[in-house]
Chains A and B, each alone.
Chain A
Amino acid sequence: MTTAAWICLLSPLAGAVAITLLGTRIPRREAGYLATLSVAVSAVAAAVAFFAALGRGGEEREAETTAWTWLTAGELDFGLTLLVDPLSILMMLIVAGVGSLIVGYSIGYMDGDDEERRFFVYMALFVFSMLLLVLAGNFLILLAGWGLVGLCSYLLIGFHHERPSAIAAAKKAFVMNAVGDAAMALALFLLIYESGTLDYLRSFERVGELGSTTATLVALGLLGGAVAKSAQIPLHTWLPDAMEGPTPVSALIHAATMVTAGVYLIVRTHPIFEASVGIQELAAGLGAITLLVAGLIALVQTDIKRVIAYSTMSQIGYMFLGAGIGAYANGMFHLMTHAFFKALLFLGAGIVIHALVGEQDIRKMGGLRGLMPKTFVAMLIGAGALAALPPLSGFFSKDSILASALAREDGFGYVLYAVGLAGALLTAMYTFRMIFVVFLGEPSAFVREHHHAHQGKEGPFSMTAPVAVLAVLAVIGGWIQIAGTGWHPLADFLDPVVAVEREHLALVEPTVTQDYVTAALSVALSLAGIALAWLIYGARRREAPRQPFLQRVLERKFYCDEAYDFAFYRPAAATARGWTRWIEGPLIGGSIAGLAGGTRELGRGLSEAQTGFLRTYALAIASGLAVLALVFVSVRL
């Protein structure tokens, strides 16, 4: 099991290194094959680890493996330690499995692009970083993985470095994530300081000894990291801009894996969150707000990828909601199904964008159903799963989260429940608005002019095959756990990791009635949302309601960017300019320049002592010796 985990982790790294070193010695296409192969090996290794774990009893499914201890400082051991347990195995399967499909898809998508090799190196490096993040056995490795995925995300968002907007988006993502990283690092420092260990298992054992203030601060810091990485309010504005990256990047990093790392973090460190319930409920609250706000904004977006991006934010909001109320298994379940159907949607959108020579504006699209029937079916499946229609995967996972919220049976739970249901309505509306606008109706002028088929097909095999696989997964992925029937193997599998240890916090299992009520309500709302979308965008029987003010607010994304610009960027920039002008220049600049000049003068003087004559050298040695001997002897005398 541990060997498989190491192979799983290191294979993409080996792929990235190999492509880098081989450089132009292999054709571009082969770089793609190599990257796909390395990630596929990872996926196989993850599957092996999974079956090995299944073959063991519940307690033995947890294994720590240390390659070597990097540094021992006092009582702290900094080891390259992996923790293989059901949670990390599930993440390995998702990351490597979906990752291999998406990297394979990129072979077709990036074909002919400049710098393909660089792209595949970054992709393989990303998969490695993400696996490092989920396999980490201590907080140091977690932080390393956390930073590395941020770096890969930055590199891939800015992959088209000739586009200023891509560079700006990359920087924005990096800076916003840096805020989260800093919060998380501070939390970890505090945790290490207080508990004296970096290991997950050891520090979780000592959580009880932490003071309540410490626990709250640590949990808050971790939440900050999670919120930034997962693009939740208030650190959410980078994700829509991140769509500047190539579509496979959006699918892999900004939908299926990296952005869900925040959910993983909360689930992984749940003992800490449980030690400070307020922060955990804050996570649920933030998730609820995000799912509503993102759903609203998605209604008015016109860029196909941005619509999906906002839906990602909104779906992660559901996961946060689930993790925040202690329904960890349900949150992870939704993480998994979301990886399937969201990757499917992105890759389907990628095929559409590819066929329309890079156009992403849905207003210019239309009537693609006749031209791309298979893509339409795939997108329809993805949209259905996203809108949580039975029997597609999203239905099972989303409803189980909502039912858990209902089962709390307190005011907070009811609020979350209501918000979640409202979100379901919005989800169905914006998703099917996109589907109807893009695929139904008559082909638009733009489509007639620009659509080109790929050798009579909708795309090369490398692109269509992953989409087909993901479509199947998006259909059946939810069947591994059906609420209200007693069929819950996923929750059983995760149970050793996510079991809530404190009695009073134990999650109340939803009753069968609650499950069924939730399912009925959410399906009804989803259907209502689809019907609305149909009336307005499909059949065009109704005009979209005109609310200039509301529309402007939504289009401006609730003015978050403007507010941050006003609140943080401008004061900081003004301060910096002031300091440059009044302090840096006259005070520091002058003195540093003087210091540097003086130092150089000293150096020049010293090297003039280097005359090149042996007598000088001998004199230096002799006088050094004389001083030494004289001082030694005279001190003693």
Chain B
Amino acid sequence: MIAATTPKVDWFALAPVLALLAASGLALLGAVLVPRRRAHGVGGVFAALGFAVAFVLSALLYVDSGEARNVVAEAIARDRFAALAQLIVCGAGLLAVGISWSERPRVEEHAGEYYALLAAAGAGMAFLVAANNLMVLFLALEWFSISLYVLSAIRADRVESLEAGLKYLIVGGFGSAALLFGSALVYGSTGELMFGRIAEATRAQGLESDPLLLAGLAMVITGLGFKASAAPFHMWTPDVYDGAPTPVTAFMSAATKTVALVLAMRVLVAAFPQLDEFWTLAIAAIACISLAWGNLAALVQRNVKRMLAYSSISHAGFMLIAIAANNELGGRALLYYLIPYSAMSLGAFAVLAARERELGRAVALDDLGGLGWERPLLGLSLWVFMLGFAGLPLTGGFWGKFLVFSAAVERGWTWLVIVGVVATAVSLYYYLSVVRALYMRSDLEVRLMPAGGSPPREGLLQAAVAACLAVTVGSFFAVQPLTDLAEAAAKQLPF
């Protein structure tokens, strides 16, 4: 008989994950035990509570993690870098519950499962950002990915939703396989799974030019690039974002991107510091391709959801610049960028969700005509989100781009800044075309097609949009406090 010793577990470090798991379990129980018409309320409340509690716990964890250390047999990193990412994920989750609440008539059938999966996905993401070895990384990645596959397909009555789920599952399998295979190669080459030890082994054994390790690195980059929807691994993104229920898209666009990029930075910086000349250039190249592809393809989209999907690809490109910079300023830039970006992304999809419900069909650019006058809060918010995506001042998007470009300049890669600026210029075209549709259409052009009666008052959705608006604008004014938070977090990575 093998004597198995369990490692000492730092429960506090896992608390946000556990809170979300508990919420997920309770929501699922609710789905079974509570009569169906109440299931929606129960599930929603549990999920919201879970995200709220996890948010508070992450905040406490952030405060308490002045010194970074590895816990639970060194599998989990307990540091501010993870805690800040968890804060973003939990905030996004909470807002996603608010946005989903009005989907009541549509997901009635699976309401309990819906919220359980949302909380479970959140738990997996919170787990992922704290991962400190390749095993935990893969486990957490699959954990939240599988939740998202099902969430994408949860509108089983809609063929687009099913298609999105299936495509995501199959292509996602491809991405996961690349990541797993890469992990195996890295392990095969260095004999280590822990990020820090991989770096040590690489240095100690002089593996800098080991083809096995290099191939492994390429595969890990591919797998993470897939999750972050960076080109050319991004092609699932428009289809899945378009087909999935819009609240799910909102959550995915904010949270998945956050955790994939945060983790990519952690892995590359902590595990492959010796190979930095490889991966920084590779990431920079991927960033350029994402910027070019995302922005160019977004130009010709008429469907707003698809347009935003391409815009999210281009934003992945911006944030990859921060990773490619490979310095502390880059870490700060990435963490700061994610805050307004998540808010803008959630908010924009939330507005689309409201409009979709009103019209009863996918929202094309022309369908936004007059929204700014009809629904002032939503219109104004969408306007601000678009300006924020474009990086104009009075929104956090401005400082996000500013910090990212500063990081690239500090690294000495001015050319990357030039690519970013040109991409921004191109992106103005499609962001402003949304604004034009919102406000600058003459009455004759506006063809309103309400799906019947005036839309219901969606208090929670509007509150969520207002919160996103507050974060988007607030992060512009509170840039110093937020970058201080991000700086304290980025300092704990071994740049």
Q: Which residues of A contact B297 (CB under 8 A)?
A: 603, 606-607, 610
Q: How far is the CA of A602 from the CA of B282 in the complex (A)?
A: 24
Could you list 24 examples of A-B contacts with CB < 8 Å? A70-B478, A599-B296, A599-B426, A600-B300, A603-B297, A603-B298, A606-B296, A609-B235, A614-B167, A617-B171, A617-B174, A620-B235, A621-B174, A621-B226, A624-B222, A624-B232, A625-B222, A631-B282, A632-B214, A632-B217, A632-B218, A635-B278, A636-B211, A637-B209
**CB closest chain-B residue, reference A617:** B235
B6 within 8 A of A: no
* 3 tightest Cβ-Cβ pairs between the two chains A and B: A603-B299, A628-B218, A629-B218
Q: How far is the CA of A618 from the CA of B278 in the complex (A)?
A: 24
Tell me what chain A mostly uses at the interface: helix, strand, loop, or mixed. helix
Known contacts A602-B296, A617-B236; 20 additional CB pairs below 8 A are A68-B481, A69-B480, A69-B481, A70-B479, A71-B479, A603-B299, A606-B293, A610-B235, A616-B235, A617-B174, A620-B235, A621-B222, A622-B174, A625-B178, A625-B219, A628-B282, A629-B214, A629-B215, A632-B215, A632-B218
**CB closest chain-B residue, reference A624:** B232
B70 within 8 A of A: no
> Are B301 and A607 in contact (CB-based, < 8 A)?
yes
B356 within 8 A of A: no
Checking B214, B225, B238, B239 against A633 with a beta-carbon cut-off of 8 angstroms, the contacting residue is B214
Q: Which residues of A contact B481 (CB under 8 A)?
A: 68-69
> Are B480 and A621 in contact (CB-based, < 8 A)?
no
**CB closest chain-A residue, reference B481:** A68
> Are A636 and B171 in contact (CB-based, < 8 A)?
no
B233 within 8 A of A: yes
Contacts from B to A (Cβ < 8 Å): 167, 170-171, 174-175, 178, 208-209, 211, 214-215, 217-219, 221-222, 225-226, 232-233, 235-236, 238-239, 278, 282, 293, 296-301, 426, 429, 477-481
Tell me what chain B mostly uses at the interface: helix, strand, loop, or mixed. helix
Q: How far is the CA of A574 from the CA of B387 in the complex (A)?
A: 34
A20 to chain B, nearest CB (A): 10
**Of B175, B215, B300, which is in contact with the most chain A CB atoms at under 10 Å from its CB?**
B300
A629 to chain B, nearest CB (A): 4
A67 to chain B, nearest CB (A): 10
**Of A606, A632, A633, A637, which is in contact with the most chain B CB atoms at under 10 Å from its CB?**
A632
**CB closest chain-B residue, reference A23:** B376
**CB closest chain-A residue, reference B167:** A614
A575 within 8 A of B: no
Q: Which residues of B contact A596 (CB under 8 A)?
A: 429
A530 to chain B, nearest CB (A): 53
**Of A70, A72, A607, A620, which is in contact with the most chain B CB atoms at under 10 Å from its CB?**
A607
Checking B178, B214, B215 against A621 with a beta-carbon cut-off of 8 angstroms, the contacting residue is B178
Checking A618, A632, A635 against B171 with a beta-carbon cut-off of 8 angstroms, the contacting residue is A618
Checking B175, B214, B239, B298 against A612 with a beta-carbon cut-off of 8 angstroms, the contacting residue is B239
> Are A70 and B477 in contact (CB-based, < 8 A)?
yes
B160 to chain A, nearest CB (A): 11
Q: Which residues of B contact A69 (CB under 8 A)?
A: 480-481
Q: Which residues of A contact B218 (CB under 8 A)?
A: 625, 628-629, 632
A545 to chain B, nearest CB (A): 57
Q: Which residues of A contact B477 (CB under 8 A)?
A: 70, 80
A541 within 8 A of B: no
**CB closest chain-B residue, reference A619:** B235
A591 within 8 A of B: no
Checking A607, A612, A621 against B233 with a beta-carbon cut-off of 8 angstroms, the contacting residue is A621
Q: How far is the CA of A490 from the CA of B358 in the complex (A)?
A: 64
Q: How far is the CA of A632 from the CA of B300 in the complex (A)?
A: 35
A614 to chain B, nearest CB (A): 6
**Given A600-B299, A633-B211, A633-B214, also A623-B232 (CB < 8 A):** yes
Q: How far is the CA of A628 from the CA of B219 in the complex (A)?
A: 8
Q: How far is the CA of A246 from the CA of B480 in the complex (A)?
A: 41
Q: Which residues of A contact B178 (CB under 8 A)?
A: 621, 625
Q: How far is the CA of A80 from the CA of B239 in the complex (A)?
A: 45
List residues of A (421-461) whose CB comes within 8 Å of B's CBs.
none
**Of A68, A606, A620, A636, which is in contact with the most chain B CB atoms at under 10 Å from its CB?**
A606
> Are B235 and A68 in contact (CB-based, < 8 A)?
no
Q: Which residues of B contact A632 (CB under 8 A)?
A: 214-215, 217-218, 278, 282
> Are B232 and A614 in contact (CB-based, < 8 A)?
no
A70 to chain B, nearest CB (A): 6
A318 to chain B, nearest CB (A): 39
Q: How far is the CA of A289 from the CA of B174 in the complex (A)?
A: 80
Q: Which residues of A contact B167 (CB under 8 A)?
A: 614, 617
Checking A68, A616, A625, A635 against B480 with a beta-carbon cut-off of 8 angstroms, the contacting residue is A68
**CB closest chain-A residue, reference B238:** A610
Q: Which residues of B contact A71 (CB under 8 A)?
A: 479-480
> Are B214 and A636 in contact (CB-based, < 8 A)?
yes
**Given A621-B232, A624-B232, also A604-B300 (CB < 8 A):** yes
Q: Which residues of B contact A612 (CB under 8 A)?
A: 239
Q: Which residues of B contact A599 (CB under 8 A)?
A: 296, 299, 426
> Are B300 and A620 in contact (CB-based, < 8 A)?
no
Q: Which residues of B contact A629 (CB under 8 A)?
A: 214-215, 218-219
**CB closest chain-B residue, reference A602:** B296
Q: Which residues of A contact B174 (CB under 8 A)?
A: 617-618, 621-622
Q: Which residues of B contact A621 (CB under 8 A)?
A: 171, 174-175, 178, 222, 226, 232-233, 235
Q: How far is the CA of A622 from the CA of B174 in the complex (A)?
A: 9
Q: How far is the CA of A70 from the CA of B477 in the complex (A)?
A: 6
Q: Which residues of B contact A628 (CB under 8 A)?
A: 218, 221-222, 282
Q: How far is the CA of A70 from the CA of B478 in the complex (A)?
A: 6
Q: How far is the CA of A177 from the CA of B174 in the complex (A)?
A: 61
B480 to chain A, nearest CB (A): 5
Q: How far is the CA of A616 from the CA of B218 in the complex (A)?
A: 20
List residues of A (100-154) whose CB comes within 8 Å of B's CBs.
none
Q: How far is the CA of A608 from the CA of B215 in the complex (A)?
A: 31
Q: How far is the CA of A267 from the CA of B104 in the complex (A)?
A: 63
Q: Which residues of B contact A604 (CB under 8 A)?
A: 300
**Given A604-B300, A614-B167, also A620-B232 (CB < 8 A):** yes
B198 to chain A, nearest CB (A): 16
Q: Which residues of A contact B226 (CB under 8 A)?
A: 621
Q: How far is the CA of A80 from the CA of B214 in the complex (A)?
A: 50
**CB closest chain-B residue, reference A78:** B480
Q: How far is the CA of A628 from the CA of B232 in the complex (A)?
A: 11
Q: How far is the CA of A623 from the CA of B231 in the complex (A)?
A: 12
Q: Which residues of A contact B209 (CB under 8 A)?
A: 636-637
**Of A68, A596, A617, A631, which is in contact with the most chain B CB atoms at under 10 Å from its CB?**
A617
